[in-house]
Copies of this chain bind each other. A is one copy, B any other.
Amino acid sequence: MNALSVPAPELEVETWFNTPRALSLSALRGRVVALHAFQMLCPGCVSHGIPQAERLHDTFAADGLVVIGLHTVFEHHAAMTPVALSAFLHEYRIRMPVGVDRAGAGDRVPRSMRALGLRGTPSLLLIDHLGHVRHHHFGRVDDLVLGAQVARLLAESAAAAAQGCDDGRCAVS
């Protein structure tokens, strides 16, 4: 079962690609976020996870969904450097913003991956407008299921916005 509701810790990112400025979950509060954690040399990420993240953007960006990639290198660190990632993003024509998860001191698992409790790659997290992780998928997830989950979170977000609610508080607008 992947339905839950826990506050998402802030991302810790060394470098961003495909975005003019750094992104943060706190600045995206009020928006629904799909966070796709991948490694550039992970076969399941290349064949399935990344194309699905791009379809999420193509399908739901107009409804307000924000799709972010997170390069969570926990193996083969010497191979999957930011320089290599940059070439990968170029060759695969990947357009979404991608952050490089910050290396942990004395830990092969990087910091955001550790804080988010990811089990590996690909992982896909759906974060609601209050900043809570509501769905946490590890491995392959079906498009019908994912489309439904995103739609429900977007509907919650729209309902809250209509009531003047944000960040857990509802104010007179």
What residues make up the interface of A, taking CB atoms closer than 8 Å to B? 41-43, 46-47, 55-56, 59-60, 75-76, 78-81, 83-84, 86-88, 90-92, 142-152, 154-155
Take A147-B144, A148-B150, A151-B152 as given contacts and tell me if A88 and B79 are in contact as well, using a CB distance cutoff of 8 Å: yes
Q: A46-B46, A47-B47, A86-B79 are in contact. Are A59 and B145 (CB under 8 A)?
A: yes
Residues of the B chain whose Cβ atoms lie less than 8 Å from the Cβ of A56:
144
Contacts of A91 in B (CB 8 A): 41-43, 76
Which of chain B's residues have a CB closer than 8 A to the CB of A41? 84, 87-88, 91-92
A129 to chain B, nearest CB (A): 16
Determine the distance from Cα of A102 to Cα of B154 in the docked complex, in whole angstroms: 41
Question: Measured between alpha carbons, how far is A102 from B91 in the docked complex, in Å?
Answer: 22
Task: For residue A58, give the distance in angstroms from its CB to the closest CB of chain B.
Answer: 9
Candidates B46, B59, B155; contact of A144 at CB < 8 Å: B59
Complex Cα gap A56–B150 (Å): 16
* Chain B residues within 8 Å of A88, by CB: 41, 79
Which 4 interchain pairs have the tightest Cβ spacing? A147-B147, A143-B143, A148-B151, A79-B87
A142 to B142, CA, bound (A): 12
Among A41, A55, A81: residue with most chain B CB under 10 A? A41
CB-based nearest B residue for A91? B41
- In Å, the complex CA distance between A86 and B78 comes to 10
